[in-house]
Each structure stands twice: as structure tokens, then as C-alpha cells.
Amino acid sequence: DTAVSQTPKYLVTQMGNDKSIKCEQNLGHDTMYWYKQDSKKFLKIMFSYNNKELIINETVPNRFSPKSPDKAHLNLHINSLELGDSAVYFCASSLVAYEQYFGPGTRLTVT
Amino acid sequence: AQRVTQPEKLLSVFKGAPVELKCNYSYSGSPELFWYVQYSRQRLQLLLRHISRESIKGFTADLNKGETSFHLKKPFAQEEDSAMYYCALVTGGTSYGKLTFGQGTILTVHP
């Protein structure tokens, strides 16, 4: 009965590879988000989708592409991975913007 | 542009001592501020919101528009309060808005 789930939990890959992180929520929320938490624990929004429509797109390299097949899922695809992409990526969902429910995070390590 | 600043990366107190986690913001609109908390091995979750003026787990936070601050306070810290605390500002409205987080403060309460 997990509310917001992410897979995989850990992802280790080499520079130049393409990888995807999946997120699913069973809360019936309309809005989903992707955040990046860097090594200093700074948490910054990347994207937000509302009912499968992109509504927030922060200054993120084009190598990052979110995809929302339905409002319960928001996946993050990353092309040509770089060392600087190493971080913890959090998915979240909400009914209202201020009360977001976060997933457990995916720790991405690029070597 | 909006900004949230938490000047203390680390904060240590002893059990029973008062604790104050500082948060300052910069925003041209009417601010709506929140505190999120992440306990060890748990997900990031909403702790409290300024508009409700409630006390959660003994914590309170008052919005001071003159000082542009939203400090989190508890009169008697407990060991279970040890966690990462993020101050957050919502902008863009309730439905399609986003959260801007501060850098986070790691609180350690010693026995």
C-alpha cells in the first residue's frame, strides 16, 4: 500500500549511458513532480506534471526528459549521463502544491 | 525570484533544551511557508504550514513578514526530533504551484 514508489532504489551506471527512473503513485493525485537532491542535500524541483501535462520545467538540460503515460505515473529518462548527474532523485505527488508526498528516492551514481 | 535560506547546515542541542531552526525567505508576493522533515530512513513529509498556526509534535513556526522569517521552534527538544528539516515556500498558486526549498538543516538532539 505504498503511496509513492520509485524504481530502482539504486542505480549505478557509466558516463554516456541512458537510464530511466520510474515513479508511481496510488493516492489519486493530479500532480506529480521530480526533484534532484545534490550531495549537499539541496533539494530542487526539476519538473511538474498535472494530469499528464507538463506545467513546470525548470532549467534542466535537455538530456532529461519526463514522461507521464497517465496521471499515476511519471518517469524520468536521462540521456548521455554525466558525472554531475549523480544525485538522489525524488518523485512526489500532490493534490495541492504545498502538501507533497514524496517517494523514497533513487540514488543515481554515474562513474 | 523567490529564495529560501536556512543559514545553519547543522544544529546540535541536548535533550530538553530549546531549539530554533532558522529560515528566511525572499519573495515579492504573499508568502506561504512550510516546514518539511525527513527522519532517518523515512520519506520527506510535511511537518507544518504557517497558515494553520498549529503545533505539530511540539513545533511551532510564526511567519514574520517584517523580518521575512519563518523560524521553527520547540521549547524542549527530544531525541526523536533528530532529522533533516527543510523550510519551503510555495509559489504559483495552490494547484499548479511549486515548492522552493531551503538548503536544509540537520538537527541532532543528544541524550
How do the pLDDT tens digits run along chain A, 111 residues long?
A: 679 999 999 999 999 999 999 999 999 999 999 999 999 889 999 999 988 888 888 878 999 999 999 989 999 999 999 999 999 999 999 998 888 999 999 999 999
C-alpha span between A16 and A7 (Å, rounded): 21
Cβ of residue B56 closer than 8 Å to a chain A Cβ: no
Domain housing A34: 4-106
Q: CB–CB of A71/A32 below 8 Å?
A: yes
Strand A73-78 relative to strand A43-50: parallel, antiparallel, unpaired?
Answer: unpaired
* Maximum distance among all Cα pairs of chain A, rounded to whole angstroms: 37
Among residues B89, B99, B86, the alpha carbon closest in space to that of B21 is found at: B86
Cβ of residue A54 closer than 8 Å to a chain B Cβ: no
Q: Which of A88, A94, A100 should one mutate to test binding to chain B, selecting the residue with the greatest count of B CBs within 10 A? A: A100
The answer to whether the Cβ–Cβ distance between B104 and A99 falls below 8 Å is no
C-alpha span between A25 and B58 (Å, rounded): 30
Across all residues in chain B, what is the average pLDDT?
A: 92
Q: Does A111 map to a domain? A: no
Q: CB–CB of B50/B33 below 8 Å?
A: yes
Q: Does A35 map to a domain? A: yes
Report pLDDT digits (tens) over B26-84.
998 888 899 999 999 899 999 998 777 778 899 999 899 999 999 999 999 999 999 99
C-alpha span between B36 and B86 (Å, rounded): 5
Q: Does A48 map to a domain? A: yes
What residues of B are in contact with residue A104 (Cβ under 8 Å)? 43
Cβ of residue B60 closer than 8 Å to a chain A Cβ: no
Among residues A31, A5, A8, A3, the alpha carbon closest in space to that of A109 is found at: A8
Closest CA in chain B for residue A51: B96
Among residues A74, A77, A65, the alpha carbon closest in space to that of A33 is found at: A74
Helix (H, G, I), strand (E, B) or coil at B11: strand
* CATH number of the domain where residue A16 is located: 2.60.40.10
Query: Domains, chain B, ranges and CATH?
Result: 3-110 (2.60.40.10)
Predicted local distance difference test score (pLDDT) of residue A59: 79
Contacting B residues, span 61-100, partner chain A, CB-CB under 8 Å? 84, 86, 88, 90, 92-100
The answer to whether the Cβ–Cβ distance between B96 and A90 falls below 8 Å is no
Q: Does A44 map to a domain? A: yes
Closest CA in chain B for residue A49: B96
* Site of grid cell 511538474: A48
Q: Does A23 map to a domain? A: yes
How many residues are there in chain B?
111
Q: Does A11 map to a domain? A: yes
C-alpha span between A2 and A19 (Å, rounded): 24
The answer to whether the Cβ–Cβ distance between B46 and A100 falls below 8 Å is yes
Domain count, chain A: 1
The answer to whether the Cβ–Cβ distance between B86 and A43 falls below 8 Å is yes
Helix (H, G, I), strand (E, B) or coil at A83: helix
Q: Does A15 map to a domain? A: yes
What residues of A are in contact with residue B92 (Cβ under 8 Å)? 56, 97
C-alpha span between A87 and A102 (Å, rounded): 16
